[in-house]
Structure 1
Amino acid sequence: MQRLPIRTHVVVAIELLAGLATLVLVALWLREPKGPYEPYLASAGAVFAVTEIYRRYEGRLFKTEGVERTPSERVRHHEALRVQFREEIDRCRAEDLRKDVIIRHVNRLDDYPNAKERPGISPWFKVGLLDTYHKGIIVGLGWHGMIDTPQGPRLADYAKGEKSEFTTMLTGEIPYDFIESMNVRGDEYYYLPHIFCHFANRGEPYERLFYAVKQDMRHGHHYWKEIASYDEVKRNGRHV
């Protein structure tokens, strides 16, 4: 059984204490209206209001979400997802199929399929399911031309007429802890696997982003070799 994060239990406990304190102060105030209870009553009420807002809107205001599992629950969750994703990836490779999937935010399921235009990351979008790693899955976000520099690789500036020296894939790692489930068959809108994720890393589903190139290991096997992290490439581009 999934458990709420410890921070949520703490907030609920504080909220209950603030509510109880408010009731006690109100009772004392009614018995002795001239007593100095107003400041304490206002403070208890403010704490109650703040904790209630935090508990209800934590994911949207602070971009923190997800569930906590015991070590045994994590093992079972990770292994079940690993088997499911491995089977889907192997099937696509064997049948030479595209590996497109739909990433969906569990907190904004009702925004699918007609997402409203809002700042920040979309509640659902298409990526490529590339591979698994020891903590989760690797997805592809798009191809990018690169130029090698003394500082390290950076994106080619096509607007300035630059030609790329090599091509990389912007990839993201999504840990199993961020994944709630996968619907392999899709639906009437997109006949693709739907991966339901917690956008638990500052409002995104990725543990980290990096640029990689595909390395052939022969006999139908390959892996994605990291060239540079997303932040490194972004930093190198500032030297242009």
Structure 2
Amino acid sequence: MDAILQARVDDLRRYLPEHSVPETLALLADHFPGRVSFSTSFGLEDQLISHFIFEHELPIRVFTLDTGRNFQETYSTWNKTLQRYGQPIEVVASQAASLEKMLTRKGPNSFYESIANRQECCHIRKVEPLARALAGQQVWITGIRAEQSANRQHMHRAEWDAGHQLLKVHPLFDWTWEQAWSFAQAHGIPVNPLHQQGFVSIGCAPCTRAIAPGEDFRAGRWWWENADAKECGLHHTLGHQGLDPVVERLPG
């Protein structure tokens, strides 16, 4: 990784634990004006970050990927979020031609037939739309928490995403599920009702189930697959490479 970029990532890693989530988000918005985006899927963590952005009126773009296969409870939470904050949430959808081609050849449930088919569906409905949504951005904010899976425990609060060529920041990285839930309840934040039915990780309806006590956070995703690290491709691989500096060093 470029030395200046590495220094910026290191600065962020030091800064995040010492400051509140709103302070961190404000810093990013200030240093990367008009180039900071947050992607929400209306799960608990994402609802908290949306709350911080909207309540503090931070100039951070909020968008969601509408896969067309979401739970009705997720759509309901989406509507309640719009009503609660009165702020727009940009929608990014699949490319119609690619989706129509896949459905014509393989039908609506091909993802159950093989990992390759499932990855193709995820790519069309999520990965490719995300790439379009992040084009030209410099910071991608996510709701990732370390305890969500063993794979995510090896990540950091701030990283360089080589695939999308931008900084990736997880403001809630060290938060526990209990902390997030308590905060949402205390501040009247709309919460997806599926969380109270045993769903901790919520994706597309055909690909997500509730988990039993003691199961891994990601056990409910693509449960028919025998895989250790269950990711759709949005957060699966992170690499490091150089980038021309765009702002001054962040405060340490």
Larger Rg: 1
- TM-score, normalization: structure 2? 0.22
User: Which is richer in strand?
Assistant: 1
TM-score (norm 1): 0.23
